[in-house]
Structure 1
Amino acid sequence: MFTSGKAVRMERIMNRNTGKTVIVPMDHGVTVGPIDGLINLSAAVDMVAEGGANAVIGHLGLPKFGHRNYGRDVGLILHLSAASILSPKPNKKVLVNTVENALRVGADGVSIHINIGDENEAEMLRDFGKVVVECIYWGMPLIAMMYPRGPKIDDEKDVEHVKLAARIGAELGADFVKTNYTGDPESFARVVEGCPAPVLIAGGSKAGDKEMFEMIEGAMQVGAKGLSIGRNAFQHRTPSLFVKAACAIVHDGISAAEAMAMLEADQ
């Protein structure tokens, strides 16, 4: 039976047995520069791959300077949009790459970042639509990072705002939607329920291990299909062990308490 290119690529960025994924984004170099944990891209990729991450996300510099160095393989998702914190409009993400070029460099998927509620939302949604059409043409999986951010947004984790952002991602054709965790399983269940596409939780700012594991457990309990966590993974004192424990919650269904015990036992 013939298998489509998209189906093959999807299996490279997710666990085929669980249908879930643990992704570590490493696109921060464009936004904030060479922060701790990402000074050496190759080392960062190797550590999270060792922990069992299904894929990493990065700009063109990742496959050019740091991806698949040695050790365990890991899926590559090329990030297509960018802006730096020095920009007068840091929330205005513009396209800096293409789906076709992602194929050329061996990427297994692509991702884009959309800020719903920003003054430049219209332009970002227009770019989103263009990328979706390209992804359909080339059979490329797409992760849409959908965040409520703008003048009308007082709380970026408000369930009503997150629900809308996630739904827009699904409506416009994303294969996975990454968005903010709303703080508890009950409210996040409404986000998952209202989003036809698989939902991944964002890690957000740096937090403690217990808090992160409880967030992951809560999201998985209500139907999330995985996570996309950056700083809390690659800036961890032992990135491979943190990712290993997070993977056990996502793919094996262990509890946050069990993940903590697993992390402490390995250190």
Structure 2
Amino acid sequence: MQLGKAVRMERIMNRNNGRTIVVPIDHGVTVGPIYGLVDLRKTVNQVAEGGANAMLMHKGIPRCSHRNYGPDIGLIIHLSASTSLSPYPNAKTLVATVEDALSLGADAVSLHINLGDETEPRMLADLGAVCSEANKWGMPVLAMMYARGPKVTDEYDPAVVAHCARVGVELGADIVKVNYTGAPDSFRNVVNGACGVPVVIAGGPKLESDRDIVQMVHDSIQAGGSGLSVGRNIFQHADPSRIVKALHKVVHEDWSVDAAMELFD
């Protein structure tokens, strides 16, 4: 691995266990300024204080969320977008470049790809081109890989999730983000099929309880996963710092679910 890429990976991944806690706050483009994403500086501070490794956001957000005190946190700039107002919400288009991310001091870039969508060819072309460009600069790429389209009947199907992860790896991503399959055994097959590239899980819809999110992350780690990239279940939590602290114990200190839940008592 190039030295520059190795240095940046260490900023967003724990060097001791190769795991990470990423909190994406790119939702404002997709659905607007929802709860948890109005006072961005407050949210970023809470997440950083909880022990997250990196925040993920669009290029215009660092100027209104950059931290000036407390623990540091890595920065990932998201390069693709679509809105819920569009008749084609699954068609992601590039809205930033690798050089934009470099100028902001970012540690990585990310893209969202929806396999199965009618615009899949263009999104795959974008992923391949961005991975090539990022590699020239030693910039890590996180690929958010989902299956969403007319032929997709279950985006959580283990074989479908494994296919998503493998596409990201094959086109050059350094980290792949996918749905959790719901069970450690099936998710282990996803991780094994990713050829050694770190696999992190998405949070999906807002979960019913703190234990649900902690249990899901714990099980994914036991299956060989490398952590999480979770948004709403963290930034819309009543206490973002506390839920991140609990997840930090599970991801980076191998705590049990029961032990981590004691932090909420």
TM-score category (smaller protein): over 0.9
8 Å contact 1:156–1:162 — kept in the other structure? yes
User: What is the letter of the counterpart of residue 84 of structure 1?
Assistant: T
Secondary structure of 1:161's match? helix
TM-superposed deviation, 1:67: 2.2
TM-superposed deviation, 1:70: 2.7
TM-superposed deviation, 1:62: 2.0
> Aligned residue for 2:251?
250
User: What is the letter of the counterpart of residue 170 of structure 1?
Assistant: V
- Bigger drift between 243-252 and 9-18 goes to 9-18
Alignment of 1:53-68 (within 5 A): 53-68=52-67
Scaled by the length of structure 2, what TM-score is found? 0.97
Which whole-Å CA distance do the structure 1 matches of 2:211 and 2:174 have between them? Answer: 30
> Aligned residue for 1:109?
108
8 Å contact 2:59–2:100 — kept in the other structure? no
Scaled by the length of structure 1, what TM-score is found? 0.96
Secondary structure of 2:61's match? helix
Which whole-Å CA distance do the structure 2 matches of 1:19 and 1:68 have between them? Answer: 25
Which whole-Å CA distance do the structure 2 matches of 1:70 and 1:152 have between them? Answer: 48
1:103-147 Cα offsets, whole Å, 9 max, x none, are 011111100000011111000000001100111111001100000
8 Å contact 2:41–2:65 — kept in the other structure? yes
> Aligned residue for 2:169?
170
8 Å contact 2:147–2:161 — kept in the other structure? yes
Q: What root-mean-square deviation, in Å, do the aligned CA atoms of Structure 1 and Structure 2 show?
A: 1.0
TM-superposed deviation, 1:100: 1.0
Which whole-Å CA distance do the structure 2 matches of 1:200 and 1:67 have between them? Answer: 24
TM-superposed deviation, 1:258: 1.3
Which whole-Å CA distance do the structure 1 matches of 2:232 and 2:149 have between them? Answer: 23
Q: Does 1:235 find its partner at 2:236? A: yes
Secondary structure of 2:217's match? helix
> Aligned residue for 2:157?
158
User: What is the letter of the counterpart of residue 200 of structure 1?
Assistant: V
User: How many residues are matched?
Assistant: 262
> Aligned residue for 1:186?
185
8 Å contact 1:46–1:69 — kept in the other structure? no
Secondary structure of 1:46's match? helix
> Aligned residue for 1:100?
99
Secondary structure of 2:212's match? helix
